[in-house]
Amino acid sequence: MADVLDQSEVDSLLAVVEAGTVQQGDTSAAFERSEAERLRDVQTYDFKRPERVSKDQMRALESIHEGFARNFGASLSAFLRTIIEVRVSTTEQLTYSEFIHSLPNPTNFNLLSCEPLEGQMCLEVSPLIIYPIIDRLLGGSSAETFIPQRPLTLIELRLVRRIIDRALATLTEVWSNLVNVHFTLAETENNPQLVQIVAPNEVVVVISFEIRMGQRTGTMGFCIPFNVIEPVIHNLATQGWLAYKRRAASEQKSEEIVNQLQQSQVQLHAILAETPITVQELVSLQVGDIIQTGKPATADLLLKVGGKPKFACELGRYKDSRAVKILREAKPGERF
């Protein structure tokens, strides 16, 4: 394909030629310089906010926590006995300082340990949804709950701890697809400005959730410092993570199915012989009559499992009971 000049480049070349200030060779040189400048790819880079997590890894993190939102919403709905909707609203990279300054004060700010990963993560829940949940736990309707501008009391903190424990259990479950990590609550603060788990200019991934309970809506933010997940960041490649997730889910599902089947009960039927008779012969049968079949006495019996032919067996006795001994698997379409 021939190179095409944009309108500004055409106008510049025409103006130079009409002015007569350059020769034809100079015009070619000017065109080459203009083309080189056009092909040069220049992108801005902010050294204060370096993008340390790729877009694919960000999408993988968002996918993980979309699963967390569904499971956590179901867990809260069962616990509070009302419909709770939780969804991922945003996923972005910030500096830790920007994240802290975006939070209200006071708020419910929880520091999480995530062994065996080094460092801590943060889980912040807005007072706009915390107080309606507390009101619900105490028997209120949470419809007209007043949102006080004060730290949580000790009793309120113990009630909120039951919500946080469910969030941590769900986080541990969904993160198991990425790394074997166990989330525990290390500390709870009311003023996020007093907590500094990493340097102010350190990059963090902030996943924001929207929690809706009836007419009440609030937010929850999950802060993941880059230096905490750096050892396992390679697992967040989209294709590799999705393949790993499918494989882990498949293995786990297969194990669950096997465990369930081992406890299942099935019915066994040993078929001695089959022969057709008329209805008149059937109604005239008496005790002691003998029904003759075309099957030899030494032939194998058919053992059906769940109504389907499965094994060839022979009749016998075990202690004081009639029994059958399995000889081999029945062949497809085999007649006994």
pLDDT 10s digit of each residue in the chain, 336 long?
445 666 677 777 777 666 665 555 555 555 555 555 555 556 665 565 556 777 888 888 888 899 899 999 999 998 988 889 999 998 988 888 899 988 888 899 999 998 888 888 999 999 888 999 888 888 877 667 778 888 888 999 999 999 999 999 999 988 887 788 899 999 898 888 888 888 888 889 999 999 998 888 899 999 999 888 888 877 776 444 454 455 555 667 777 788 777 877 888 888 888 888 889 888 888 898 888 887 887 888 888 888 888 888 888 888 888 888 888 888 877 776
Phi/psi at 122 (5° precision): -125, 140
Residues present in the chain in total: 336
Q: Residue 291, SS3?
A: coil
Contacts of 280 (CB under 8 A, 6+ apart): none
The secondary structure of 207-264 as a DSSP string is EEEEEEETTEEEEEEEEEEHHHHGGGGGGG-HHHHHHHHHHHHHHHHHHHHHHHHHT-
Return the closest-CA partner of residue 185 out of 232, 130, 120.
120
120 contacts 111 by C-beta, under 8 angstroms: yes
Tell me whether residue 130 is exposed, middle or buried, using C-beta atoms within 10 angstroms of its C-beta: 0 to 12, 13 to 18, 19 or more. buried
* Per-residue confidence (pLDDT) for residue 30, from 0 to 100: 53
Q: Sheet with 308-318: list strands edge to edge.
A: 268-271, 301-305, 308-318, 321-329
Q: Residue 30, SS3?
A: helix
CA distance 189 to 105: 10
* Per-residue confidence (pLDDT) for residue 1, from 0 to 100: 44
* Per-residue confidence (pLDDT) for residue 227, from 0 to 100: 87
Sign of CA dihedral 157, 160, 165, 168: negative
Contacts of 182 (CB under 8 A, 6+ apart): 114, 115, 172
Partner residues linked to 248 by β-bridges? none
* Per-residue confidence (pLDDT) for residue 229, from 0 to 100: 86
Q: What is the dihedral of CA 187, 191, 197, 199, to 10 degrees?
A: 180
Q: How crowded is the C-beta side of 4, counted as CA atoms within 13 Å?
A: 3
* Per-residue confidence (pLDDT) for residue 263, from 0 to 100: 78
Which domains are seen in the chain, by residue range? 55-249 (3.40.1550.10), 268-329 (2.30.330.10)
